[in-house]
């Protein structure tokens, strides 16, 4: 059986499994160039928009990086969301199979939107100014933010295709966000600015994070708590923007050469190897993050 036919069969099987898990029953589906998008009734316009974005992202990365990404996208409203183990509106991905499955909200009123809007009074003026430069209000940016998070999940699918998904946790998250950043800069620059502007909007409600070192992220991951996890992700977003600006696709190619096919990778080893490849770009960054909360749990060997 040709692989393309096999993959399409896997997409269909995986989609049925996910729809059964979330209790959504039969969903309308559209398919183009091997990408399957299933969506809640009444969400066809958003499904088409997200399909076009994913296909553009595939076009941008697949040929230059000699990779083939197989994924399915499921967009659900709150009624269809069901009990999938996540609050409504928080995108997620499963990369365990031949096909990566992404679940994302079909509407723009989930928990991420609500939490962002609840902190409007805490948002720095610089955020409003950055958004205004690209014609966005803060409310519009908050509503689009979950879509951008969903494309971070698409970034995980690219990492999987390049055999980079088994890296340590912090580098895996940074890599996924790097793929999102590159796509936005080259294809939707206004949203690239929205993504970075929203990086200053933390779910800490004005407080400081308890954990800030890369070692603690690797140790606890989502166990740091939602607000602190959000803080980490936004540090990765800023770093990814810097890496893409400096190196473009060269950073992805370097990751392929250094870590492609590696079964596991220690966080300190990853940091030291990246510092060797990109002098001055990683160890100081990690130290600055740890120093933010006087979290010295990441011990770095002298170079």
Strands (E), 186-243: none
Look up residue 127 and give its two tokens.
């955020």
Q: What is the pTM of this model?
A: 0.87
Residue 247: what are its φ and ψ, rounded to 5°?
A: -125, -10
pLDDT at 284: 95
Cα separations in angstroms, 95 against 89, 159, 237, 273: 19, 10, 21, 26
CB within 8 Å of 167: residues ≥ 6 apart: 159, 175, 259, 262, 265, 270
Please say whether the beta carbons of 190 and 102 come within 8 A: no
* Number of other residues whose CB lies within 10 A of the CB of residue 223: 11
**Which is nearest to 71 in space by CA: 23, 110, 41, 31?**
31
**Which is nearest to 185 in space by CA: 136, 134, 233, 245?**
245
**Which is nearest to 161 in space by CA: 256, 60, 52?**
256
CB within 8 Å of 54: residues ≥ 6 apart: 35, 37, 71, 73, 151, 154
CB within 8 Å of 92: residues ≥ 6 apart: 84, 86, 102, 103, 153
**Which is nearest to 203 in space by CA: 281, 293, 114?**
114
* Digit-coded pLDDT (tens) for 191-201: 999 999 998 77
What stretches in the chain show pLDDT beneath 50? 1-17, 19-21, 23-24, 295-303
Cα separations in angstroms, 70 against 56, 67, 94, 154: 14, 10, 12, 10
pLDDT at 295: 47
Look up residue 83 and give its two tokens.
């009990």
* Digit-coded pLDDT (tens) for 158-197: 999 998 877 899 999 999 999 999 999 999 999 999 999 9
């Amino acid at each position: 059986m040709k692989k393309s036919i096999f993959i399409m069969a896997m997409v269909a099987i995986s989609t049925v499994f996910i729809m059964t898990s979330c209790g959504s029953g039969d969903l309308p589906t559209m398919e183009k160039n091997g990408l399957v998008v299933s969506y809640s009734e009444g969400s066809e316009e958003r499904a088409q928009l997200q399909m076009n974005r994913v296909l553009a992202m595939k076009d941008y990365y697949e040929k230059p990086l000699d990779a083939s990404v197989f994924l399915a996208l499921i967009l659900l409203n709150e009624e269809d969301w069901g009990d999938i183990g996540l609050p409504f509106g928080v995108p997620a991905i499963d990369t365990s199979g031949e096909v990566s499955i992404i679940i994302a909200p079909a509407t723009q009123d989930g928990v991420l939107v609500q939490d962002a809007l609840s902190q409007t009074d805490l948002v720095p003026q610089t955020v409003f100014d950055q958004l205004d430069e690209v014609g966005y209000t803060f409310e519009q940016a908050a509503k689009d933010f979950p879509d951008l998070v969903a494309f971070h999940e698409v970034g995980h699918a690219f990492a999987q295709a390049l055999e980079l998904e088994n890296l340590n946790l912090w580098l895996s998250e940074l890599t996924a966000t790097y793929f999102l950043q590159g796509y936005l800069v080259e294809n939707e620059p206004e949203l690239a600015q929205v993504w970075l502007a929203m990086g200053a909007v933390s779910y800490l409600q004005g407080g400081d994070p308890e954990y800030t070192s890369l070692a603690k992220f690797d140790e606890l991951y989502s166990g740091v708590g939602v607000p602190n996890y959000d803080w980490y992700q936004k540090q990765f977003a800023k770093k990814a923007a810097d890496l893409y600006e400096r190196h473009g696709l060269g950073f992805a190619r370097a990751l392929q050469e250094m870590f492609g096919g590696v079964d596991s990778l220690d966080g300190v080893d990853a940091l030291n190897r990246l510092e060797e490849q990109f002098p001055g770009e990683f160890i100081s960054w990690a130290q600055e993050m740890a120093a933010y909360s006087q979290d010295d749990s990441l011990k770095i060997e002298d170079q």
